[in-house]
Amino acid sequence: MDLIAEIWLCLALAALLGGVIGWLLRGARCSRELQDLKARWQNRLGLLRTDLDDARHKLAEAHTEQSEQEAAVDSLRLEIEQREARAVNLQSTIEGYENDIEKKNSQTLELSSALDANQLECEKLKAGARELEQDIESLRSELEAARGAGEAGRADLDTARAETEAARAEAESGRASLETARAETEAARAELEAALAQCRSALEDCQRARDEKPVAAVMSAPVSREATSRELEERDARIAELERQLAATDRLGAEPDPLQRIHGVGPVLEKMLHSIGVFTFRQIAAWDEADIAWAAAKLDAFPDRIERDEWVAQAARFQHESRDRASDDRG
């Protein structure tokens, strides 16, 4: 029994010793494996740390890029807001321009209609101008005919002008003193009456000679009869002019009326009216068509100007006003 117990004890010790040896051998192997495993994990950990550093660096770069992108987005947002504000301003400006364009279009339509009306008026004016040119041409032809007809009576006209200038000189010199002017006026009237008597006697002689001249002689010499008729007409005109000058001498001693009050009469025309013996509103108010034609010929103006400006009506009105004012002064 003791032997068996010893055997079992030896076997137990041997098993225990084998277990310890096996455990020791297994522990050494595990230590090596653990070191290998540790080395492998350290390598992996180094790689992971490297990757982590790279990731951190990339993350920092991403943060920096994100910040830059956010700043760019902010600037773009600000620029967009500015552009939107400018777009609103431009929209309002465009609307104002559109309103202006509509106004301009309406004004253009009005101007176009006015232009059409002006063109029609221009056409009418052109037609009137052509008619006036025709009238002027006819007046020129009549003036040329009158000039041709008046060549024969220039000598008598020059004589009458000389007498008129003498009377005008006497009247001008007589304005300084009323009594002297009246005396010179009477002298001028006597001279004019003598000249008028001479002209009338000459006219009566011509008429008597024409009445006494045989009809056959007149028919055989038509040019002589025309010359005689022309001479008689010229003498009649001269007599009428002398009568006007004689009537004008009634006013030479007094102050003349301010003829420039008449519309269309300036300083030059007033002097010309004085030169032909017209000094008062009463004289102009008494004009008839023949007197108007005579005055127009003397003033180198068309008769329609005197009629258009209504000199006769204006002179009558001013004469009436002067008469009323004089009556008020006497009252």
Q: What is the DSSP string of 275-308?
A: HTT--SHHHHHT--HHHHHHHHHHHT--HHHHHH
The confidence score (pLDDT) of residue 214 equals 46
The confidence score (pLDDT) of residue 217 equals 41
CB 241 within 8 A of CB 278: no
pTM > 0.85: yes or no: no
The confidence score (pLDDT) of residue 247 equals 55
CA atoms within 13 A on the CB side of 201: 6
Estimate the crossing angle of helix 289-299 against helix 222-248, to 10 degrees: 90
The confidence score (pLDDT) of residue 301 equals 62
The confidence score (pLDDT) of residue 168 equals 58
CA distance 160 to 142: 24
Q: Using CA atoms of 120, 121, 124, 130 in order, give the dihedral in degrees to the nearest 10.
A: -120
The tens place of each residue's pLDDT in the chain, 331 residues long, gives 677 888 888 888 888 888 888 888 877 777 788 888 888 888 888 888 898 888 888 888 888 988 898 999 999 999 999 999 988 998 888 888 888 888 888 888 888 788 888 788 878 888 877 887 787 787 777 777 767 665 655 665 565 465 556 545 554 654 444 455 456 656 666 676 666 677 667 667 766 766 665 444 434 444 445 665 666 666 666 666 655 655 555 544 457 899 999 998 889 889 988 988 899 999 999 999 988 888 888 887 655 788 888 999 999 999 998 887 767 666 5
The confidence score (pLDDT) of residue 102 equals 86
The confidence score (pLDDT) of residue 55 equals 82
Estimate the crossing angle of helix 222-248 against helix 154-174, to 10 degrees: 10
